[in-house]
Structure 1
Amino acid sequence: MRPDELDIPLTFEGTREAGTTLGSGVVMAFDDTVPLPRLLLRIAQFFRDESCGQCVPCRVGTVRQEEALHRIVDRAGADASADITLLREVGRAMRDASICGLGQTAWNAVESAIDRLGAYE
């Protein structure tokens, strides 16, 4: 969420109305000195590590998500459009086809950072 959205109620209804999601319910606050691409990479590593591996969308998707974010970080965000497209495709597949909530939400933080925070602009 952006600084102008700090008054949004942290409820399923409040975040849905604002066009965002609570995700897993974790709240992390950062100022503008935190390098968002590196933070997103760390979040992707968490989801990769936590995937049980039972379903292909999550088992493969979390790895592909991390790989794409590594490429973006390694290039310092330059020409990230192909990887952002890949992230969107992988994220939709994970959301639509993963068996559990972990796989279904593993893309949420990255999606939000791209769409709401302009992470790679």
Structure 2
Amino acid sequence: MQRKIASVFLETFLFYSGFYTPLYYLGHNKLNNVAEIIKLILRDESVHGTYIGYKFQLGFNELSEAEQADLKMWMYDLVFDLYSNEESILMNYMMRLVGPIQCLHSYATMPIRR
């Protein structure tokens, strides 16, 4: 079950976050061909995530309430760890790209709500 959770997280929000910039440019009518290819990739990956998520739901519904609660806690811990990792990577990239300006420092020190 944990592998299915990790797979859905990896094939959905972590994978999609890497395509923000080309899709941003598509929204501004730039890099149209590249963004169209990326949209096709994202559509394919969403099918994978949906299928694995469905298989997870079937197994999850067979667990006891205590097992479901434990798995939910593990799932939330994992997603917050993955989010924190992505945020750290983004902040390191931004600090190298534009330097340590005050607005980035303010953002970097904002607490994550759980």
TM-score, normalized by length of structure 1?
Answer: 0.28
Q: Where is the helix percentage greater, Structure 1 or Structure 2?
A: 2
Higher relative contact order (CA 8 A, sep 6+): 2
Q: Work out which of the two has the higher radius of gyration on C-alpha atoms and give 1 or 2.
A: 2
TM-score, normalized by length of structure 2?
Answer: 0.29
